[in-house]
Structure 1
Amino acid sequence: MRADGDVWDIVTGVGLTALGVATFRAIESAHTEPLIHDDYAELFVRAAGEGHFIDMLTNPPKLDDIPLVPGFMGLRTKFFDDFFLSAASDGARQAVILAAGLDARAHRLDWPAGTVVFEIDRPEILEFKDRVLRDNAAVPRADRRTVAVDLRDDWPAALTAAGMDPAAPTAWSAEGLLPYLPGAAQDALFGSIDGLSAPGSHLAVESAPTGAASSCFATLESKYFDKNPFGAIDPTDLFYRDARSDPEQWLPAHGWPVRVASSTDLAAAYGVTLPDLPDELEQEWDRPRYLAATRMSD
């Protein structure tokens, strides 16, 4: 369970969920026809040395031979990849990845010349990430700047101190983040994004009622999967469940017209044929909403 001011590294608490997500991206990337290509994900997993996720690289969890969770991560990752590339083509030369975790988009994507990518996360996560990238001589395709700060603290001051220009259009992402923030911190996050965004800025958000998955996740995984995708933890135990604004309503009310897609919508857009799922799993599959919004004039 969460507590105010709790901390973690890459193999504990919230950090361990970032390692799980990297594992799912590595599995998706290894498919014969992957939706995404992330050559860095496996490097992070092996460097962390967490046995469950290392085993998953060759033996992923399955539902009747369907690798459901990694497939979901492929859709989610491609949505955010495409979002950043679209925002860049629209002129945004700043990107801010909130709770960047083991996201390697600064190295993976073909950014236009002059793009600055800011990665915000806890110091322990960024230190691990930087070490692995350095050990593997990874070269970013943009001006990558890390901002070591907890999103429950004064991250806007740290971000602007790192060189982020509020007068220039920015592409923001909040991927797999919102349920791990207290309600007040989530609402403050959107207020800060709004205050730091020039007209023409873009924002992509993964959102869901009461979080990215329901409180019955552990029950469903034990019922349907041959192994727990997240090992010894249930990610929903790390969620905050207090009151908060609904981004689908907050964004348009504050001058950010929003487009909304479900996982099924993304699968159709990317030409992915979905398997037949039990009703309760199908409900979980379509719980997350993927929002893309553009800041209009002040």
Structure 2
Amino acid sequence: MTESLPAVSRTAVGVAALRAYESSRPDRLFDDPYAAAFFEAGRSALPDLDRGSKQAGLGALMYPQVVIRTRFFDDYLLGAGCAQVVLLAAGLDARAFRLAWPPGTRLFELDLPDVLAFKDDVLAARGATPACERIVVRADLREDWATALREAGFDPAVPTAWLAEGLLIYLTYEEASRLLTTVGELSAPGSRVSFEHRPGDAPDSLVSRARATEDGEHVTALWRGGLRDTAPEWLAAHGWEPSTVTRAELATAYGRPSDGDATAGGFVTAVR
């Protein structure tokens, strides 16, 4: 099945492996009961990936980032208080199935058709049942995805919690700006948006270390930088009230080691 996945989406299989490893820990920060199934179904695309070792090189480097961002975004979505949720480039995360959503929540998952087909095949094989109203929207985020979202039943008059997890770094500044401009146009007052924030690209930053990892070129070659270090300023200039948190702060709050996290960046959340 993975042969049909575009290169940028195959990285989601590696992320699923890291989520599966975290879910197996007694001190896990979250429980994703479907991550291992995604990894097993997709491992033909990553024959050298070993879930037990968290993947040598790039996987080991990215493991703390993936784990902390998963927990942070879980908490963000459940705490947003929005009855409408949109996951941009939803990938292989199973939040619609694994989180305790309030009654009446409508969750839209946007991603490429092949990604969503792969995802739904794995979930169907596991007999997975969503914990909210889940609406799948097959769309390319570089094209007119807003029309597809509206046609699927999205209501721009309802406050929405938007999530762009692991997405913007794969876009150019112009593509990221265009995507978030559309998000703003679709956001009623009270809406929220969140994504990773990398305040710099110093030689010891997470991005720089990832680019220097010998086995990571198949992933890092796809990175385009997104908004880079301008995310809070960009959001403030486009009608949002942003706030940021570092990965080091979250690691401490979650009881995880924070060594090196000062250069790992963090996350931005903004309210409309």
Q: TM-score, normalised by structure 1?
A: 0.81
Alignment correspondent of 1:3: none
Closer, same or farther: CA 242–34 of 1 in aligned 2, 3 Å: closer
Alignment correspondent of 1:114: 104
Contact 2:168 2:226 in 1 (8 A): no
What does the per-residue CA deviation read over 1:30-71, in whole Å, with 9 as the maximum and x for residues that have no partner?
Answer: 1111011101111011112327468521222468xx955323
Cα drift, residue 245 of structure 1: 8.3
Contact 1:28 1:71 in 2 (8 A): no
Alignment correspondent of 1:69: 62
The counterpart of 2:160, out of the listed 154, 170, 183, is 170
Alignment correspondent of 1:27: 21
CA distance in 2, matches of 1:160, 1:41: 29
Cα drift, residue 9 of structure 1: 4.0
2:16 matched to 1:39?
Answer: no
Cα drift, residue 259 of structure 1: 1.3
Amino acid corresponding to residue 9 of structure 2 in structure 1:
G
Contact 2:206 2:263 in 1 (8 A): no
How large is the RMSD of aligned CA atoms in angstroms?
2.5
2:143 matched to 1:153?
Answer: yes
2:183 matched to 1:193?
Answer: yes
SS at match of 1:58: helix
Amino acid corresponding to residue 16 of structure 2 in structure 1:
A
The counterpart of 1:204, out of the listed 170, 194, 200, is 194
Cα drift, residue 210 of structure 1: 7.5
CA distance in 2, matches of 1:270, 1:48: 30
Alignment correspondent of 1:86: 79
Alignment correspondent of 1:273: 257
Amino acid corresponding to residue 86 of structure 2 in structure 1:
V
2:173 matched to 1:183?
Answer: yes
Alignment correspondent of 1:255: 239
Closer, same or farther: CA 150–135 of 1 in aligned 2, 3 Å: same
Contact 2:20 2:51 in 1 (8 A): yes
Alignment correspondent of 1:104: 94
Report the number of matched residues: 266
Contact 2:199 2:229 in 1 (8 A): no
Cα drift, residue 78 of structure 1: 0.4
What does the per-residue CA deviation read over 1:250-297, in whole Å, with 9 as the maximum and x for residues that have no partner?
Answer: 1122221111011101112222233x4xxxxx37x63333011111xx
The counterpart of 2:267, out of the listed 290, 294, 297, is 290
Closer, same or farther: CA 160–194 of 1 in aligned 2, 3 Å: same
CA distance in 2, matches of 1:294, 1:242: 20
Alignment correspondent of 1:264: 248
Cα drift, residue 243 of structure 1: 7.7
CA distance in 2, matches of 1:48, 1:210: 33
Q: TM-score, normalised by structure 2?
A: 0.89
SS at match of 1:172: strand
Amino acid corresponding to residue 251 of structure 2 in structure 1:
A
SS at match of 1:124: helix
Structure 1: give runs of 5+ residues left out of the alignment: 1-7, 223-227, 277-281
Contact 1:215 1:236 in 2 (8 A): no
CA distance in 2, matches of 1:19, 1:249: 33
Cα drift, residue 182 of structure 1: 2.7
Contact 2:172 2:226 in 1 (8 A): yes
CA distance in 2, matches of 1:67, 1:217: 10
Taking every aligned residue pair, what percent have the same amino acid on both sides? 40
Contact 1:218 1:234 in 2 (8 A): no
Contact 1:217 1:234 in 2 (8 A): no
Closer, same or farther: CA 70–243 of 1 in aligned 2, 3 Å: closer
Amino acid corresponding to residue 17 of structure 1 in structure 2:
T
Alignment correspondent of 1:139: 129
Alignment correspondent of 1:217: 210
Structure 1 segments, 4+ long, off by >6 Å, are 242-245
SS at match of 1:140: coil
